[in-house]
A and B are shown apart, each in its own frame.
Chain A
Amino acid sequence: MPTLTIDGTEVTVEPGTTVLQACEEVGVEVPRFCYHERLSIAGNCRMCLVDMEKAPKPIASCAMPAGDGMVIHTNTERVKKAREGVMEFLLINHPLDCPICDQGGECDLQDQAMAFGRGHNRFDENKRAVEDKEMGPLISTTMTRCIHCMRCVRFSEEVAGVPDMGALYRGENMQITTYLEKTLDSEMSGNVVDLCPVGALTSKPYAFTARSWELKHTETIDVMDALGSNIRVDTRGAAVMRILPRLHEDINEEWISDKTRYVFDGLKARRIDTPYVRKSKKLTAATWAEAFKAIKSKLKGVKGDEIAAIVGDQADMESMAALKDLMASLGSTRIECRQDGSAADASVRSGYIMNSTIAGVEEADYLLLVGANPRLEAPVLNTRIRKAARHFGLKVGNIGNAEDLTYRVAEYGDDAAILKAVLDGSHEASAALKKAEKPMILVGQAALTGEQGAAVLKAARDIADKYCMREGWNGFNMLHNAAGRVGGLDLGLTAEGGVDGILDDAEAGKLKTVFLLGADEIDTSGLKGATVVYVGTHGDEGVKNADIILPSAAYTEKFGTYANTEGRFQRTSKAAFAPGEAREDWSIFRALSDVLGSTLPYDNITQLRARIAKDVPGFENIDVIQVAEWGDFGKQGDIASGGIAPAIENFYHTNPIARASQIMADCIDARGGLVEEATGTNG
């Protein structure tokens, strides 16, 4: 443990710490551009120069390991001069276009030029000009502003695992580009915008729409996948202008996926902003009172077992609980949250969460994927797996579709029946699981759908039980795609026969009324015969055959609780008001219950949460991992040989908000174009 002195303060740091990190530990700020704690050290911007006693010249603190007995000064005249010099060089070719630069106001170069630079520049020659590069629909480039810190290049190679960025030519002619100026083909590409310390790479959809200082920041969580990435929603008035990641070491570190970041324009398009009632086959706008009256008259004489409800992927727990209570008051318990027909079993909590946790991936030494494609289903989790595979010796095996996950994967084949061999110990994966100190099995929803879903779940459970249990370590993990799914299972929203049963019964006329809470991933054509009450945000699949439509709030417009795929409860905050007449979902059910004559026993969200807490243990423990007791789940059964259909076919179109987003559509177009181009050049 080296002990060094920084500006007169003695500090002892871990071996391998750099001088810059040691400075941060004692609270001394060292300016930097190229250094980033989650990327490899480059040492090419020279901004972090500090004085080290006995060294002939200033040292780059980001690249110098802290040594015992070092004496570091960061406030000498020489350091000041060095910083001024570096700053002056960096500004030689940097345009003074801050007033028209989107980075203005949140620019590292701007801030550090103010803090550490000279007042003026002595360079009278022409500045260099660099042609802008095309990097796809998400990243806007102004390459003249680039200071060659290489963060984006290191990110794409190290974190995203898509080594498509690089620096061409040399010296004054150096240019950062993507390979052949193609779209940066990663689900994580938007993060380079955050990493860029200047305005060279900025967000294309956000371009010239707002200034950072006029935005209201709301800290909330994301619902595009089941990780619950921590985000900050920036709004101006009622409009969401952009979405940025927030630091959460155990979930998303500081990354978010492109869908999380760029879906925001989908919050404005195709919104339902007023209730609708179907009158003589045509949906007509109505008031809330009219809509409720219509529901009441439709429900007249309908028995409890003729009513069912399907809950969508992005429902918060408050809404689901209120719907469940409303259904109970109508005499029905038939409410289903597994839209995709997954066999996830609500009876044992450890059977439907990621017991090893997301951060636990870094401790694991073997990971068996079963019908899971983390790159598309949870890109941020995929970068965590990549990190573990790169740095911590994690080995990954896969049963399912062979996809490029950006790290080395032992492909065992696309056949669910392999699980039987793994279970009886005759497969190579069994030996690997047995040998591993902390083995993980990650079951994706793809493996759990279809007729043999329950049998696959049981087999995975038994494999985990046999090979993946260690002291203080539960290696069974389920990867969800729906943000609301774990919450729904916590509330016990599963029905015999699942979604297909409801749809079939509705088609057969056994169901008279079906409530849909943002359920858009199902084929609603079977519901034509029944009265469909759709509560949701977007005009998507769910409204096609709806008879009464009630507008509700999207995830940025309400206070809601979500349990992520680890079972961690987190809450969203209201960043903006829902458009028009739209209301928070739970309050819609509360108001409807009043009209229907049996008022739900809560008047505000606090009371509702207290009610949920009675059913769901640990519900009030926000952002805490709760260890779930191991149990038995799934159903013993035969597993036929056959491929596992992927759970997500189109990463950019997995939910109604994304489907309404023009930016997501552009992302798909950009990739469609890419496929053609690739065949053209590769012959």
Chain B
Amino acid sequence: MTETTGFSWTPENEAAAQKHIAKYPEGRQQSAVMPLLDIAQRQNGGHLTIEIMEYIADYLDMAPIKVQEVATFYTMYNHKPMGKHHVQVCGTTPCWLRGSDDIIAACKSKLGIGMGETTADGQFTLSEVECAGACVNAPVVAINDDYYEDLTADSISNILDDLAAGKEVKPGPQVDRQTSAPVGGATTLKDFISEGEGA
């Protein structure tokens, strides 16, 4: 865990924090610790520090160790500096069966780093996560808040290239598919729908 100095809310984040605290009854402000940690992590560029945790503990009037317990329990709180793009490859069974090993290999070779490492330019951090909950579109990679689905080694390589170049990237399925609908467009009840529409 690393040090930062002088953390305090930006006005927008302070307002967001107060909105979360207001969800809970008077005196139960500690319940808002998780969203506040998330807001603070975003404000700090992707990771938490002891100082931030102490700031939040103070802000919510709770013991610092209680904040640290929460922040170390959940995997989505990071405790060391992260790259601008956090590449989170799902390696759980459905994605693995659909070729997540290839995706991981592609990421490693493209970025030149191993799991849990950050590229020298600070652009990418690579990590393997447990089930991302998008098994229908396996294999899946989450980069920051966006999901990239139905990937192949090529498509993830292209995405990483585009991100590195600062280009716009389209999240969601990387094949011809609307969200989790069948690949290549609707395949069922096509006739029925058109007949129905016709009649």
Q: How many A-B residue pairs have CB under 8 A?
A: 31
In chain B, positions 23-78 with a C-beta closer than 8 Å to chain A are 50-51, 54, 63-66, 68-69, 72-73
Question: B2 at the A/B interface (Cβ < 8 Å)?
Answer: no
A152 within 8 A of B: no
Secondary structure at chain B's binding surface: helix, strand, loop or mixed? helix
Could you tell me the distance in whole angstroms from the C-beta of A289 to the nearest C-beta in chain B?
62
Residues of B with C-beta under 8 A to A165: 65
Tell me the bound Cα distance from A164 to B64 in angstroms: 8
Q: Is B5 an interface residue (CB 8 A)?
A: yes
Q: A681-B50, A683-B5 are in contact. Are A168 and B63 (CB under 8 A)?
A: no
Q: Pick the residue among A168, A681, A683 that contacts B68 (CB under 8 A).
A: A168
Tell me the smallest distance from the CB of B48 to a CB of chain A, in Å. 13
* Given contacts A681-B50, A683-B5, A166 and B65 within 8 Å (CB-CB): yes
| Nearest CB in chain A: distance from B64 CB, A | 6
Measured between beta carbons, the chain B residues less than 8 angstroms from A179 are: 63-65, 68
Question: Could you tell me which residues of chain A, from 142 to 182, have a CB within 8 Å of some CB in chain B?
Answer: 157, 163-170, 178-180
Cα A681 to Cα B7 in complex, Å, equals 13
Measured between beta carbons, the chain B residues less than 8 angstroms from A164 are 63, 65
Complex Cα–Cα for A179 and B5 (A): 19
Bound CA span A168–B73, Å: 7
Minimal Cβ-Cβ distance residue in B for A173: B72
List CB contacts (< 8 Å) of A660-683 with chain B: 681-683
Which A residue sits closest to B1, measured CB to CB?
A180
Given A166-B69, A168-B72, A170-B73, verify A180-B63 contact (CB < 8 Å). no
* B-chain residues with CB within 8 Å of residue A681 when the two chains form the complex: 50-51
Q: Are A169 and B72 in contact (CB under 8 A)?
A: yes
A163-B5 contact in complex given A169-B73, A681-B50, C-beta closer than 8 Å:
no
- Could you tell me the distance in whole angstroms from the C-beta of A234 to the nearest C-beta in chain B? 33
Min C-beta distance of B79 to chain A, whole Å: 10
A163 & B69 in contact (Cβ 8 Å cutoff)? no
Cα distance A53–B52 in the bound complex, in angstroms? 51
Nearest chain B residue, comparing its CB with the CB of A169: B72
Cβ–Cβ contact B69 & A167, under 8 A: yes
- Choice from A166, A178, A683 contacting B66 with Cβ under 8 Å: A166
Interchain CA distance A180-B50 in the complex, whole Å: 9
Contact of B69 (CB < 8 Å), options: A168, A178, A682, A683: A168
**Best-buried of A178, A180, A683 by chain B (most CB within 10 Å):** A180
CA distance A165 to B50 in the complex (A): 16
List residues of chain A with CB within 8 A of the CB of B73.
Answer: 168-170
- Min Cβ gap A279→B in Å is 60
Q: How many residues of A contact B (CB 8 A)?
A: 15
A682 to B6: give the CA distance in the assembly, Å. 10
Minimum CB–CB distance for B95 against chain A, Å = 21
| B51 CB contacts on chain A under 8 angstroms | 681
Residues of B within 8 A of A682 (CB): 54
A164–B62 CA distance with the chains assembled, in angstroms: 11
Asked whether A163 and B50 contact (CB < 8 A) given A169-B72, A169-B73, A683-B5, the answer is no
Q: Give the chain A neighbours of B54 by CB distance below 8 A.
A: 682
Write the nearest CB–CB distance from B114 to chain A, whole angstroms: 20
What residues of A have a CB within 8 angstroms of the CB of B5 in the complex? 683
Min CB gap B78→A, angstroms: 14
CA separation between A170 and B69, bound complex, in Å? Answer: 9
Min CB–CB distance B70 → chain A (angstroms): 10
> Cα distance A170–B73 when bound, in Å?
5
B50 touches A166 (CB 8 A): no
Chain A residue nearest to B72 (CB atoms) is: A168
Q: Which chain B residue lies CB-closest to A177? A: B65
Q: Which residue of A lies closest to B5 (CB)?
A: A683
Instruction: Name the residue on A nearest B57 (C-beta).
Output: A179
Bound-complex Cα distance A165 to B69 (A): 10
Map CB proximity to B onto A179-217 as digits: 1 under 8 Å, 0 otherwise.
Answer: 110000000000000000000000000000000000000
Please indicate the chain A residues that have their CB under 8 angstroms from the CB of B65 in the complex.
163-166, 178-179
**Taking the nearest CB of chain B, how far is it from the CB of A351, in angstroms?**
41
Query: Which residues of the other chain, A, contact B72 by a CB distance below 8 angstroms?
Result: 168-170
User: B50 contacts which chain A residues (CB < 8 A)?
Assistant: 180, 681
What per-residue 1/0 map shows which CB atoms of B107-134 lie under 8 Å from chain A? 0000000000000000000000000000
Nearest residue, chain B, Cβ from A170:
B73
CA distance A170 to B66 in the complex (A): 14
Q: Which residue of chain B lies nearest to A163 when distances are taken between CB atoms in the complex?
A: B63
* Residues of chain B contacted by A180 (CB below 8 angstroms): 50
Measured CB to CB, the nearest residue on chain B to A166 is B65
Residue of A157, A163, A179, A681 with highest tally of chain B CB at under 10 A = A179
Closest chain-B Cβ to A190's Cβ sits at a distance in Å of 20
Q: Which of A164, A166, A169, A681 has the most chain B CB within a 10 Å cutoff? A: A166
Tell me, in angstroms, the Cα distance from A168 to B54 when the chains sit together: 15
Instruction: Provide the bound-state CA to CA distance between A165 and B64, in Å.
Output: 10
Give the interface centre of B65, B66, B72 by most chain A CB atoms within 10 Å.
B65
Given contacts A681-B50, A683-B5, contact A163 B68 (CB under 8 A): no
Minimum C-beta distance from A601 to chain B (A): 61
Q: Complex Cα distance A163/B69, Å?
A: 12
What string of 1s and 0s marks CB contacts (under 8 Å) between B1-12 and chain A? 000010000000
**Chain B hits for A168, CB < 8 A:** 68-69, 72-73
Contacts of A157 in B (CB 8 A): 63
Q: How far is the CA of A168 from the CA of B65 in the complex (A)?
A: 8
- In the complex, how many angstroms separate the beta carbon of B58 from the nearest chain A beta carbon? 10
Query: Bound complex: CA of A164 vs CA of B63, how far in Å?
Result: 7
Residues on A with beta carbons closer than 8 Å to the beta carbon of B68: 166, 168, 179
CA A156 – CA B66 in complex, angstroms? 13
How far is it, in angstroms, between the C-alpha of A157 and the C-alpha of B66 when the chains are bound?
Answer: 11
A238 to chain B, nearest CB (A): 42
Q: How far is the CB of B185 from chain A (nearest CB, A)?
A: 43
Q: In whole angstroms, what is the CA distance A545 to B139 when docked?
A: 86
**Smallest CB gap from B62: residue in A:** A163
B-chain residues with CB within 8 Å of residue A166 when the two chains form the complex: 63, 65-66, 68-69
Nearest-neighbour CB distance to chain A for B72, whole angstroms, equals: 4
| Nearest neighbor of A179 in chain B, beta-carbon distance | B65
Measured in the bound complex, the distance between the Cα atoms of B5 and A170 in whole Å is 28
1/0 per residue B65-105: CB within 8 Å of A? 11011001100000000000000000000000000000000
The distance in angstroms between the C-alpha atoms of A568 and B64, with both chains bound, is 41
Q: How far is the CA of A605 from the CA of B65 in the complex (A)?
A: 54
Chain A neighbourhood of B63, CB < 8 A: 157, 163-164, 166, 179
Report the bound CA distance from A168 to B51 in whole Å.
17
CA distance A177 to B5 in the complex (A): 24
CA–CA, A183 to B5, complex, Å?
24
Chain B min CB distance to A183 (Å): 14
What's the Cα separation between A178 and B50 when bound, in Å?
14
How far does the alpha carbon of A169 sit from the alpha carbon of B77 in the complex, in Å?
A: 11
Q: Mark B148-186, 1 if CB is under 8 A from A, else 0.
A: 000000000000000000000000000000000000000
Please name 9 further chain A to chain B contacts, defined as beta carbons within 8 Å, in addition to the given A163-B65, A166-B63, A170-B73, sorted by A numbering: A166-B68, A166-B69, A167-B69, A168-B68, A168-B72, A169-B73, A178-B65, A180-B50, A681-B51
Of all A-B residue pairs in the complex, the 3 with the closest CB atoms, nearest first, are A166-B65, A163-B63, A179-B65
13 A/B residue pairs, CB under 8 Å, sorted by A:
A163-B65, A163-B66, A164-B63, A164-B65, A166-B66, A167-B69, A168-B68, A168-B73, A169-B73, A170-B72, A179-B64, A681-B51, A682-B54
